[in-house]
Chains A and B, each alone.
Chain A
Amino acid sequence: MYGWNDCILYVDLTKRRIWKEPLSKSLREAFIGGRGVNVRLLWDLTKPGVEPLSPENVLILGTGPLTGTIVPMTSRTTITTKSPATNLYVKSSMGGQFAGELKFAGYDHIVFLGISEKPAFLWINDDTVELRNAEDLWGFDVRETDSAIKRDLGDRDIRVTSIGQAGESLVKYAAIMNSVYNAAARGGVGAVMGSKNLKAIAVRGTGKITVRDPERLGEAVSKASEDLKERAAHFEYGTSRGIVNLNDIYSMPSYNFQSGYLKDGHLLAGPYLAEMGYLKAKRAQVGCFGCPIGCHLYNVVEKGPYKGYAVGPEYETSFSLGFSTGVADPEAVLKANELCNIMGLDAISTGVTISWAMESYEKGVLTKDDTDGLELRFGNAEALVKIIPMIARREGKIGALLAEGTKRAAETIGGDSWKWAMSNSKGLEISGVDLRTFKTRMLTYSVNPRGPDHLFHEVFPTPERVYEITGKDPSQLELAEGIPPPEAQFEGAFGSVIGLPTKVEAQIARWYEDRFAVTDALGICKFSGNAIHLNAGMMSEMFSAVTGVETSPEQLLFVGRRIYTLERCFNIREGFDRTLDDLPWRIMHEPADWPGISPNSKGKVASPEIVHEMQDEYYKIHGWDLKTGWPHRDTLEKLGLENIAKELETMGKMP
């Protein structure tokens, strides 16, 4: 077989049984791999209403058919399960070196069932797969786990995926990490792994990956590489650079979304960290498997109370652990980043949850008694660094409270604190964009099946793109030409000044989400942008050349839509309806009118009316019912999801 290994590895942790099954042709064709095959397996292998942290939940890791070929940037592993944070669908994806090694070992997906009686880790040595005792690893952080496994098994080329203390303590936003610093962070996938008593997966693969048409693939890769080289030049310092500009225009969410500015916040961005001598090199410098771009920073703090080293920080880390908590001290933020990494926490949810606690403390809803004596105020760097390990181990009153995430913590503490809990009704903490000033993302963050973040459709509509998306309708040309560049879109200019018709907003969202699903199914990194990820023609060319399954861009995007729709169906099966497609209360009701904000953005909220209007259009073009938000039967049938429709119908979940 070309590209794929035709193999799913099943591990029943309860019965300690390990077996292989082929990745069937129907599954490959309907869902490709990675995120796609994962969601289909999740649907089949869990029963409705499954408890996320029970033995009945499954944990699925998936790679794509392009990983292990010369297509650059194919490092992604998608992890799929039912989320303990939201009680809904979650997929979380990580880069690092794991996916390639797993492919070379001969597997496409791993499915974990049941729960191990004692702490265990899975050791995959090509064909030999065994569960090993991990009692001596339990309590180790991710870095210690990684080196202990490599040392004990005597091979430094082993690649390790593991949880840290946070996953062991079932923190609702615990991450799964590989190559030490690469996180599948969102939605508490690490807690699911912890609940299964599974500390780590170690893999060594020495096999080969063959492709159907090397010459054709070579041509496509050369073309993409040219584009990537150009792109890489614009992406020095990886994701972290955007911070400077956003902070300068008062659009960088700070103080738990009460402001758009943090004094000295630019110091948390790559160029400044490099200037101050914290970075290994004056550019982004750490690459995932097969990624010559290497978007990650590597930092070292040589002395002082915050001494340490780690990969990062990313844009989102600096947002959540720095801007949102009001901490602009680079050394403290670097330490906080390191702690999240090695203890295995989602940096977004960690920072946003701590910010919620800081605001609650300043408003008197939380007292010193609740915080175990910590002065939990915005800007308190020492408290920030102290509290992260407490969360990871659920230590003290405050550690246990914050380990539950903002939604549950606000329910426990009560008062008005839910109003500044920055998660939506699904229960996931929001990522770092102020939606009040970014209209298209009000829509995409609200409908995202896992919760309000950017990785199901990170929209940056350029004029050319909107023209393309609206079907090159000449009457739209003028509109398209009026669209400001992406940087200005952040400033609110996009939504409020241009005021694109809601129908166009809906089309933009869908244009992106199809491509995002395909990208995740193929195992490609979204940082490849227009070179691969947003270029359906390139993806279909590469997919066809690698697998020999001749597939047009349209067919590929159709698979993307099938994947995205099935994810929604899973949520519906688990109790979802339209009321959960919303945004954090503050974003919908409290205007952005802090000092310094641009007049375009002043007074703006993502009002329920605007969001609903966009959603109506969006549901309509999808063929979903406006009242429930559920897909109609013919929508599912058109996508080849007849049996899903049947199951939903039996449950009374057909509009």
Chain B
Amino acid sequence: MDNILIVDYEKCNGCQYCMLVCSMAHEGYVQMSRSRVKVYKLESEALGIPMLCEHCDEPPCIPSCPVDALGKDIKSGIVSIDLQTCTGCKLCVEACPYSAVRMNPDGNKAFICDLCGGDPECAKACMPKAITWVEAKPSAIWMKNHCTDKRVEAMERLLEV
């Protein structure tokens, strides 16, 4: 992968604009449940935590799928779901540690971030730069992992409240 998506929730203002543009870019209309990024919110503390597919090195979702609908492209590193094969059993939803797999509201198929085919709309739209699309240098990869860990921690707290 030439570029990676870094999501630093400490810069996120919780506006959900990324969700609007993600849905619009993929569906041609806006429906929050079709956004591939979901901003979890704790409004009393003005907290927003954007969660989306991390395209993991060793994706736990892949072995969780009983019909092998999930796969990772070795060259691009992108994880994707074959909608033809997906039966909507939701096992991958549970397997994903990043709350990143969601169910399509009508088709009952799983769906995840596809990095917009290499030109992420959310990164372009996010003005506070909570989501950025940067060259995959070692330092950037460290930053991505660090930011992802921070989000997982923040999510644990949010889910407790």
Q: Are B127 and A209 in contact (CB under 8 A)?
A: no
- Cα of A469 to Cα of B16 in the assembled complex, Å: 37
CB of B17, distance to nearest CB on chain A (Å): 5
The stretch that binds A, out of B23-31, B54-62, B134-142, is: B23-31
Q: Are B44 and A72 in contact (CB under 8 A)?
A: no
Q: Name the residue among B17, B43, B44, B161 with the largest chain A CB count within 10 angstroms.
A: B43
Q: Are B29 and A209 in contact (CB under 8 A)?
A: yes
Q: Are A290 and B17 in contact (CB under 8 A)?
A: yes
- Cα of A167 to Cα of B21 in the assembled complex, Å: 37
Known: A290-B17, A292-B126. A214 touches B24 (CB 8 A): yes
- Cα of A225 to Cα of B161 in the assembled complex, Å: 35
The binding surface of chain A is classed by DSSP as loop
- Cα of A206 to Cα of B105 in the assembled complex, Å: 9
The binding surface of chain B is classed by DSSP as mixed
Contacts of B28 in A (CB 8 A): 210, 214
Q: Which of A346-367 contact B (CB under 8 A)?
A: none
CB of B81, distance to nearest CB on chain A (Å): 21
Q: Quick one: closest B residue to A143, CB to CB? A: B44
- Cα of A626 to Cα of B29 in the assembled complex, Å: 50
Proximity bits, B99-127, A CB within 8 Å = 1, else 0: 00000010000000000000000000111
- Cα of A206 to Cα of B33 in the assembled complex, Å: 7
20 A-B pairs besides A69-B30, A97-B43, A294-B127 with CB distance below 8 A are A70-B20, A72-B17, A100-B16, A146-B43, A156-B41, A206-B33, A208-B31, A210-B29, A225-B127, A280-B46, A281-B10, A285-B13, A287-B15, A287-B48, A288-B15, A290-B17, A292-B17, A292-B126, A292-B128, A294-B14
Q: Are A207 and B128 in contact (CB under 8 A)?
A: no
Contacts of A4 in B (CB 8 A): none
Is residue A17 contacting chain B, with contact meaning CB distance below 8 A? no
- Cα of A214 to Cα of B26 in the assembled complex, Å: 12
Contacts of B126 in A (CB 8 A): 292
Is residue B95 contacting chain A, with contact meaning CB distance below 8 A? no
CB of B99, distance to nearest CB on chain A (Å): 12
Contacts of B34 in A (CB 8 A): 208
Q: Are B30 and A180 in contact (CB under 8 A)?
A: no
Contacts of A211 in B (CB 8 A): 29
Is residue A445 contacting chain B, with contact meaning CB distance below 8 A? no
Q: Quick one: closest A residue to B31, CB to CB? A: A208
Q: Are A70 and B127 in contact (CB under 8 A)?
A: no
- Cα of A558 to Cα of B53 in the assembled complex, Å: 47
Known: A70-B20, A214-B24. A294 touches B31 (CB 8 A): no
CB of B138, distance to nearest CB on chain A (Å): 27
Q: Which of A121-175 contact B (CB under 8 A)?
A: 143, 146-147, 156-157
Count, chain B residues at interface, CB 8 A: 32
CB of B91, distance to nearest CB on chain A (Å): 23
Closest 9 CB pairs of A and B: A294-B13, A287-B15, A287-B13, A292-B127, A208-B31, A298-B46, A210-B29, A286-B46, A292-B17
Q: Are A291 and B46 in contact (CB under 8 A)?
A: no
Number of A-B contacts defined by CB within 8 Å: 98
Which of A68, A206, A286 touches B13 (beta carbons < 8 Å)? Answer: A286
- Cα of A157 to Cα of B105 in the assembled complex, Å: 16
Is residue B32 contacting chain A, with contact meaning CB distance below 8 A? yes
Is residue A543 contacting chain B, with contact meaning CB distance below 8 A? no
Q: Are A70 and B30 in contact (CB under 8 A)?
A: yes
- Cα of A293 to Cα of B31 in the assembled complex, Å: 22
CB of A98, distance to nearest CB on chain B (Å): 11
Q: Are B31 and A229 in contact (CB under 8 A)?
A: no
- Cα of A280 to Cα of B29 in the assembled complex, Å: 34
Contacts of A104 in B (CB 8 A): 31-32
- Cα of A211 to Cα of B43 in the assembled complex, Å: 29
Q: Quick one: closest A residue to B22, CB to CB? A: A70
Q: Quick one: closest A residue to B14, CB to CB? A: A287
Q: Quick one: closest B residue to A291, CB to CB? A: B15
Is residue B45 contacting chain A, with contact meaning CB distance below 8 A? yes
Q: Quick one: closest A residue to B126, CB to CB? A: A292
Contacts of A288 in B (CB 8 A): 15
Q: Are A180 and B24 in contact (CB under 8 A)?
A: no
Is residue A289 contacting chain B, with contact meaning CB distance below 8 A? yes
Contacts of B16 in A (CB 8 A): 97, 100, 289-290
- Cα of A225 to Cα of B125 in the assembled complex, Å: 8
Is residue A272 contacting chain B, with contact meaning CB distance below 8 A? no
Q: Quick one: closest B residue to A144, CB to CB? A: B44
- Cα of A552 to Cα of B23 in the assembled complex, Å: 29
Q: Are B46 and A228 in contact (CB under 8 A)?
A: no
- Cα of A229 to Cα of B34 in the assembled complex, Å: 26
Contacts of B21 in A (CB 8 A): 70
Q: Are A181 and B46 in contact (CB under 8 A)?
A: yes
Known: A146-B44, A298-B46, A309-B45. A291 touches B17 (CB 8 A): yes
- Cα of A311 to Cα of B13 in the assembled complex, Å: 12
Q: Are B20 and A290 in contact (CB under 8 A)?
A: yes
Q: Are A208 and B127 in contact (CB under 8 A)?
A: no
Is residue A232 contacting chain B, with contact meaning CB distance below 8 A? yes
